[in-house]
Structure 1
Amino acid sequence: MTSDVVTGELRLDGHGLVLREWDDGDLTAMVGLFDDPEVAYWTPLISPFDLEAARVYLKRARERRAAGQRVQLAITVDGLEPMGEVLLMRSGTGLEVAEIGYSVGVAYRGRGLASRAVRVMTGFALGTVGIGRLLLEIEAGNAASAAVARAAGYHLTDAPPIPAEEKGRTLSLQTWEYAP
């Protein structure tokens, strides 16, 4: 990310959503969104995700944004109640490649929030930040996340799966790329 994107409050509107920065008043909502067995299984977030985990998560999100590494935004429809998160992460040096990640709370799934949030973040990354290539890394078998990727305009690439290990589980991450 560039320094001008990192400074100041960030709020993105589009596709019926308002993506905004997390604030200290969101800690309890973060617990409600992220302390979920599916979130624990499919994401690197710690489990259980309690208030202390939320405080640490918010602190790290702010540090990463200040360092120009990541932008993590709450998914809302009105700028108020968080329903999930979408994030933009640099994958290497410069602005050549970045990844988008997302999670939606169990009470808000099935509304198209994730795919709409990914579309908004994709537009921001390409248009405002100037990212050259956008990727999603989705674990093989995560049908819900693959559906989000397709709905947001991403396609599965021919790249070999990326082996990884998270929380003692061996993962096989498939690469999806934005194709306008």
Structure 2
Amino acid sequence: MLLTFPDPALAAAGIVLRQAEAGDAPWITAACSDRELSRYVPSIPYPYSESDARTFIDRAAEDWAQGRAALFVIAQATSGESLGAVALHPSPRDSEVAEVGYWLRREARGRGAATIAVRLVAGWAFGHLGIKRLGLQTHPENSASQRVAHRAGFTREGLLRAWMATPNGRRDSVMFSLLPEDDGGGIRP
């Protein structure tokens, strides 16, 4: 799948999605040093270093270039303040299926930014990439992330037992899905 950064950038309700840059390493390091974040997102190591952040930024650029994933920084449109990240991961087995994932800095949570970002990415995926099904997984205890999924229009499908491999063994995941025809099927650019 060819992934090119949307032009114009995806934006709505005071949120803009932009590409990660080298200068993002300090705030990403601070955000990902939050133990709660790494608890819910097993791909985030703990403790988290600036070297981890630089690797994350480099991998995001490679993923865009290779069509493996589309990672966006979630930012305030007016101030440019970086709030978190949202990513689209196309399935390597089915070009019409993708997963979305997101995280926010602790101080950015509870303001609706993740919901807007997920809806923007969903609209882009459905409208420009031909995606027919978006999946979203959360830790069973991550009620805040589950609220984001519901507010973004996703349907809870159920609990996938021992679904995700983590450094501490396999863990359950709550699976959600969104289809283009679903109510709330994204903000279309």
What is the identity percentage for the equivalent residue pairs of Structure 1 and Structure 2?
29
Counterpart pick for 2:30 among 29, 32, 46: 32
When the two structures are superposed, what TM-score results if normalisation uses the length of structure 1?
Answer: 0.90
1:48 aligns with 47
In 2, the alpha carbon distance for the partners of 1:117 and 1:101 equals: 10
For the structure 1 residues 39 and 46, does the alpha-carbon distance in structure 2 shift closer, same or farther, using more than 3 Å as the test? same
Contact 2:73–2:86 at 8 Å: present in 1 too? yes
Residue ranges of structure 1 left out of the alignment (5+ in a row) = none
Q: Secondary structure at the match of 1:130?
A: coil
Unaligned runs of 5+ in 2: 184-189
Residue 57, structure 1, aligned to residue 63, structure 2: no
Counterpart secondary structure, 2:10: strand
Aligned AA for 2:154? Answer: Y
- Assess if the C-alpha contact under 8 Å between 1:88 and 1:101 holds in 2: yes
Q: 1:9 to 1:34 in 2, by over 3 A?
A: farther
1:17 pairs with 2:18: no
Shift of 1:7: 6.1
Distance 1:174 1:10, change over 3 A: farther
Change (3 A) 1:158 1:170: closer
CA contact (8 A) 2:160 2:172 kept: no
Structure 1 position 107, deviation (Å): 0.9
Q: 1:7 to 1:106 in 2, by over 3 A?
A: closer
Q: How far off is 1:48 after superposition?
A: 1.6
Aligned counterparts of 2:155 and 2:137: Cα–Cα separation in 1: 11
* Secondary structure in structure 1 of the residue aligned to 2:87: strand
Further displaced range: 119-128 or 70-79? 70-79
- Offset at residue 77 of structure 1 (A): 1.3
Look up the SS of the partner of 1:144 in the other structure: helix
- C-alpha deviation, 1:53, in angstroms: 0.6
